[in-house]
Amino acid sequence: MGNLANKQIICEVLMEAAETDKNIVALCSDSRGSASFTTFADTYPEQFVETGIAEQNLVSISAGLAKCGKKAYAVSPACFLSTRSYEQCKVDVAYSNTNVKLIGISGGVSYGALGMSHHSAQDIAAMSAIPNMRVYLPSDHLQTRELMKALLKDEKPAYIRVGRNAVEPVYEEGKVPFEMDRAAVVKEGRAEGNDAAIIACGEMVKPAKDAAELLEKEGISVSVLDMYCVKPLDEAAVIRAAEYAKAVITVEEHAPFGGLGSMVAQVVGAHCPRKIRNLSLPDSPVITGTSKEVFQHYGLTGEGIAAAVKEALL
């Protein structure tokens, strides 16, 4: 199977489940097309709610349905879901402990050409700061499938951020090392210790893996962790990776504050101090361009990450 968009897999998993579970309800804010949920709406019209461009209502209605026994999946662009409806996410979903899964589509710089108004470079920090809210950034369509199947089995709030476009797979079909709320080891490195550990999330996992492969050709051993579960953070995996490395590099499609890098730095600093570097988007409006062009510009590519690792090891 080739490259697929994670949002497409989310719809497929929910459609499979909705066939037999009529309590599953998907809600969109005039975003069914961009979310790849048109097929769901057409197939299960009695299990679909269109709120229009009203993200605050989207979240509150989802919470209300959840209180009535429904399993609500609120699907909306991450840039709006994580900001415009922040209070509703905090109070109606997290504080009220409702069974609502908030699906932030087109996350990060997916809407590259539309600029800062449509970027979600703050959502990891914002959503992670809400008590009782879990935050997930799956790296490819295979992991997204496993995550959604797991989330269907619980009744706790969660925020799931995925990109807009098809992404290259990190894993192989049938070989996805998935355990709920446990980081996946993409690359082990040397048993006797590594030069560096790369911890990445979301679409940054694939370039992190590419960087490790490039560095291996130069004799530099690097382990790679897929921290899809940003909250709860798998602290044990972070400590284990850091203990066997000289430096830790985090990579995220997010602002430099309050995201994966900040969380990992807290854990490493408290338990096994190491040189640590966070690769992220800048603290400024990013350049205009496609995701690929933006990543290239800011060094969030296999080559860019590899260069940063070598610099950290100096």
- For the chain, the distance separating the N- and C-terminal CA atoms, rounded to the nearest angstrom, is 40
Per-residue pLDDT of the chain (314 residues), as tens digits, is: 578 999 999 999 999 999 999 999 999 999 898 889 999 999 999 999 999 999 999 999 999 999 999 999 999 999 999 999 999 999 999 999 999 999 999 999 999 888 889 999 999 999 999 999 999 999 999 999 999 999 999 999 999 999 999 999 999 999 999 999 999 999 998 867 889 999 999 999 999 999 999 999 999 999 999 999 999 999 999 999 999 999 999 999 999 999 999 999 999 999 999 999 999 999 999 998 999 999 999 999 999 999 999 999 98
Partnered with residue 95 across adjacent β-strands are: none
Neighbours of 303 (CB within 10 A): 13
Tokens 């905090």 sit on residue: 90
C-alpha separations of 63 from 97, 135, 164, 262, 279 in Å? 9, 18, 25, 30, 35
Q: Give the chain as a DSSP string.
A: ---B-HHHHHHHHHHHHHTT-TTEEEEESS-TTTTT-HHHHHH-GGGEEE--S-HHHHHHHHHHHHHTT-EEEEEEEHHHHTTTTHHHIIIIIIITT--EEEEEES-BTTTGGG-GGG-BSSHHHHHHTSTT-EEE---SHHHHHHHHHHHTT--S-EEEE--SS-B--SSBTTB---BTTB-EEEE---TT-EEEEEEE-GGGHHHHHHHHHHHHTTT--EEEEE--EEETT-HHHHHHHHHTEEEEEEE-SS-SSSSHHHHHHHHHHHHS--EEEEE---SSPPPSS-HHHHHHHTT-SHHHHHHHHHHHT-
Tokens 């640590």 sit on residue: 276
Whether the bond into 232 is cis, omega within 30 of 0: yes
CB-CB contact of 248 with 274 (8 Å): yes
CB-CB contact of 110 with 165 (8 Å): yes
Tokens 């959502």 sit on residue: 123
- Give this prediction's pTM: 0.96
Q: Which pair of tokens denotes residue 70?
A: 């429904």
Backbone angles phi, psi at 54, to 5 degrees: -155, 75
